[in-house]
Structure 1
């Protein structure tokens, strides 16, 4: 089950400096919304606010109409750094999410192994994170994030540190996994091609304190062979637009 997310007039500050100013967004249940923009524009800050990891300075954020006032297992974070517990094996990292979800102890081992098989890591259940490659660790983090059955998944450049081949593999794994385990997703990336591949819509933020520049719908999301060149061009144009440029289509 996924969730609607509603951002109404959200303002976020670091001290006296405004990072996000008066942002309005409606993210329907089951949508993958990609957020991109210039460095320092507040992408990660926005994600943490939606997760309930930091307070907002003005406006409101709601999940299915309920105010977001703190963290919830209904909203899972997946970071660029894998953030796995280094002393826990692959299985026990995933087991932690199942425990927090309330899965009975007698069922957790089998369910953890189902997730391990789903992410293509059969044979690695008893390995520690330090014994895995970067791509393998990200697979475990993805499984751990989704094993808790969150209604929203907030992903902060999760594939940014991976090589091109591994990144492509992880994008396809994410697509398959979300098809089997639907959730609302807010996905932060600097990569235009990744944004247009994964997102139903792409939000291009402005520089810190500026309005968002554009919201670009993607006609054929998660379809590698489809022609989404117009959407790609619109995202690229918004990213390179002069400071202060914004679209009247923001909604």
Structure 2
């Protein structure tokens, strides 16, 4: 996989129905890091993510990807959603192959590359299954494989594990880190869960309520923090949010 890209947000304003959802946000995502966006419901986390992916145009301000303005979607910037966005009529392998086709990989090499990614996310033996035959965690594994298979330089992930049970969620968090270490890229990950933010992020950006600017930017020591350090960092994040609306 190619190296991750930098993403720069400057004085960004995003509105919905005439009201600012994101107001004058400044944020820089470093190449190859996992940046987690967290904050109370309605603070614009998912809105920022869609703007970074090129799915939403800003009212004002600037979004740059490796110094170039983001004006539309790009193969270099992939998106993984919370709800399964897999094509229900395509098998696991066919869903992953679609990303490879869009990335320009010749037909002759797609099958082998898709199978490699399916193996990387632990789904060998399920290549010919349709999404409806898979559990929620398995569908998210396919989404992860498809999101990364096209060699994007940045991946935007919108609460991809939010609907999973606790055990499956922990397993998916571990898989994401393992896959990211093997196939490094820039990841911007949205969650409302502070503990998930600290397990995954190199840095955690805390957004305020709708229309407010960035409240805090917390560095997470690597390797990923032990429980004692997470307790202190968790308190710092909650303090930045005045203990509002974040779910433990």
Query: How far apart are residue 92 of structure 1 and its match?
Result: 0.1
Partner residue of 2:169?
167
Partner residue of 2:45?
43
Query: How far apart are residue 90 of structure 1 and its match?
Result: 0.1
What is the root-mean-square deviation in Å for CA atoms of aligned residues?
1.5
Between the aligned partners of 1:30 and 1:81, the Cα distance in structure 2 is: 25
Unaligned runs of at least 5 residues, structure 2: none
Between the aligned partners of 2:38 and 2:56, the Cα distance in structure 1 is: 20
Helix, strand or coil at the partner of 1:213: strand
Between the aligned partners of 1:106 and 1:220, the Cα distance in structure 2 is: 40
Partner residue of 1:231?
233
Check conservation: 1:33, 1:203, Cα contact below 8 A: yes
Unaligned runs of at least 5 residues, structure 1: 244-251
Helix, strand or coil at the partner of 2:214: coil
Partner residue of 1:29?
31
Counterparts of 1:198-237 in structure 2, within 5 Å, are: 198-220=200-222, 222-223=224-225, 227-237=229-239
Check conservation: 1:36, 1:189, Cα contact below 8 A: yes
TM normalised by structure 2 equals: 0.95
Query: How far apart are residue 208 of structure 1 and its match?
Result: 0.5
Deviations 1:38-59 (A, max 9, x none): 1011111110000000100010
Between the aligned partners of 1:58 and 1:223, the Cα distance in structure 2 is: 37
TM normalised by structure 1 equals: 0.93
Tell me whether 1:189 sits opposite 2:191 in the alignment: yes
Helix, strand or coil at the partner of 1:30: coil
Partner residue of 1:148?
150
Runs of 4+ in structure 1 off by over 2 angstroms are 220-229, 239-243
Distance 1:73 1:164, change over 3 A: same
Check conservation: 1:197, 1:224, Cα contact below 8 A: no
Helix, strand or coil at the partner of 1:143: helix
Check conservation: 1:113, 1:125, Cα contact below 8 A: yes
Tell me whether 1:105 sits opposite 2:98 in the alignment: no
